[in-house]
Structure 1
Amino acid sequence: MQPPSRRTFLALGLLLTGGALTACTDAPHRDPGRPAGDHSRPDPDEPVRRRAVDATDTLLAAYDALLPQAPQLQPLREEVARHRAALDTATPTPTPSSNTGTGTPGATASGAAPGATASTTAPTVPTTAALASLERQTAQARLADLGAASPPLARLLASVSAAGVLHAVALGDAAPAAAAAPAPSASASASASPSASTSASASASVSAGGTAAPFQDALGAEHAAVYGYGVVGARVTDEGQRTAARSALAAHQARRDAWQRLLSGAGATPAPAAAGYQLPFPVTDAASAGRLAAHLENRLTVVYADLVAAVPTAQRPPAADALRESALRARQWGAAPTAFPGIADTPAGTGTPTP
């Protein structure tokens, strides 16, 4: 077999450890039209941020209402507080309060910002099931603002939405996750992945926006995932894991095919799969196969979080859906929890991703 080409390694960024896939994954973001330190002009994202923060305050108040009876929910509450701090970048950083349990900037004991109004009064949430439903509803509502947000904020909203679905699942919600609503300019029949019926309109927006490259990156990542799950399926022994591997393989094949249709419709030549891919570590048994599956899905969350920020607004919903699905599968395969799926995380109390 010929040695893998340079393109093989570049296409399989998600399988290689240690490197950032794109510059926007690790670098802080700000309004590109505003000089650093210039706060004289209004933030165009302010209405979106305020809606997101208000929804987060309601969530935090709900957690606080339930925590006395369910203290085991504190870690989830801390993640939600970190979401608030990331969404509300204008909130001043107070001295950490012992009441919050988080040290998260901008959050009080009830999760509200300093000076918050009565509109964020805590609802009555008597059960974890009610809280799970609220998490899922809030996660879905965040996606409604994808088209109105700047690219960095859209990326953060998609990540926080995925985290909310993970919280709902952790709280016992088994309801299927709804696909993100398409942007007004997208076909009304858009679903979790671009279908054949929506490829034409999607391809037109890709061609007009000159954004084929990000979709080529996503296609390359899906090629790699399909290859990786072939390895996973050959090593797992438990029937439940085999079923999960087959399901994940089918999902990645479908999304690979969707990106190929989209690119072809835009007049671009879809990048082919490489003959082989370098794995991040040896996969010799069921345990290492499970770690590989979790690694694949974690790296795909990065690919799709970046895709949300890189494509026209009409194509943000399918990218956000792909991010959510990979985050769910990563957790299913035992990946460590993260407050910001697809975005470089920071330890609690030391900072938050900045859109």
Structure 2
Amino acid sequence: MKTNYIFLLSFFLLMNCASKEEEIYTPIPYHLEIPPLFSDKLIAPIIPSNNPLTEEGVALGKKLFFDTSLSGDNSQSCATCHNPKKAFTDETRFSDGVDGSFGTRNSMPLFNLAWNFDERFAWDGKEFGLEKQAFEPVSNPIEMHSNWKKVAEKLQKDSAYPDLFLRAFGTSTIDSVLVTKAIAQFERTLISANSKFDKFLLGKATLTPEEQNGFNVFMDETKGDCFHCHGSDNNPLWTDNKFHNNGLDATFTDLGLGKITGDPKDNGKFKSPSIRNLKFTAPYMHDGRFATLDEVINHYSEGLQKSSTIDPLMKKVNQGGVNLSTKDKADLKAFLLSLSDEEFVNNTNFTNNQ
């Protein structure tokens, strides 16, 4: 009897240890605050059913976003190239990777990603879904230059991460899938919707005459004609999230979407970025070729280059562009800057305050 008792006690102790990780913890659903303009103008945000937002998942994703151990030499994090103070981009034309290598694209800003309805990310649309977009930079040899096995091992040995993953995903075994799920959760909370122009649309601010005229130029098909690609007051994202050849080059050294689809008709097409937060996101275009907003406006005014795939929306390419007056250029710039969201770039929920 004594032997049986000892056996049963040992059995239950072992079962208790083995099932410790399986203890049921239910993550707390994360309440995503949808701005009034978004709820009025847009459909609900895209939240994958296999990666719902939770308090624990978002907090874990934020920690990972700022963690330099995701890079090969522990020197860079996601935030290195996606700085919250710069609306989650950086100020350099091409970001410097861990080995001192430079790519050929400008870092895209990160905000309002949960409303990217076609679910194609990056300048050339190569990534489908935020989870997949977060996967590639870690192993990219000119970015973080690591590999996911090493990253998982580093995180697994950390004193905090196994328990954080257990609470967020029900397992303390860390892998790339869960890391990218957590980062994507955090990125979906990056919402920018409190610029001066947003407040104007809500009746809480007044535009200057210059800003109002700039908006009129933006919307006027005979003047700026900007709204087809970059939205309007009826589209708070201020982008169509589609791919266009906007007349940057007559010949292409970067095929953009065409390299991904293999369709020559897509050559030279790149994703339309949001025109929110332009105050913080210089330099501009997929290759950061324009250092200032004035250069961007001058491009559309008199710098368009004709090519076989130029977008039909570049209607005045044969004239070099829309040929704005000096005043309309200045006013258009004033309007564009009114879409800058100071609260977003100073939001402590999005900064590394651990």
Q: Under TM normalisation by the shorter chain, which class is it?
A: under 0.3
- Higher relative CO (Cα under 8 Å, sequence separation at least 6) belongs to 1
Larger helix share, 1 or 2: 1
TM-score normalized with structure 1 length: 0.24
TM-score normalized with structure 2 length: 0.24
- Look at both structures and tell me which one has the larger radius of gyration over its CA atoms: 2
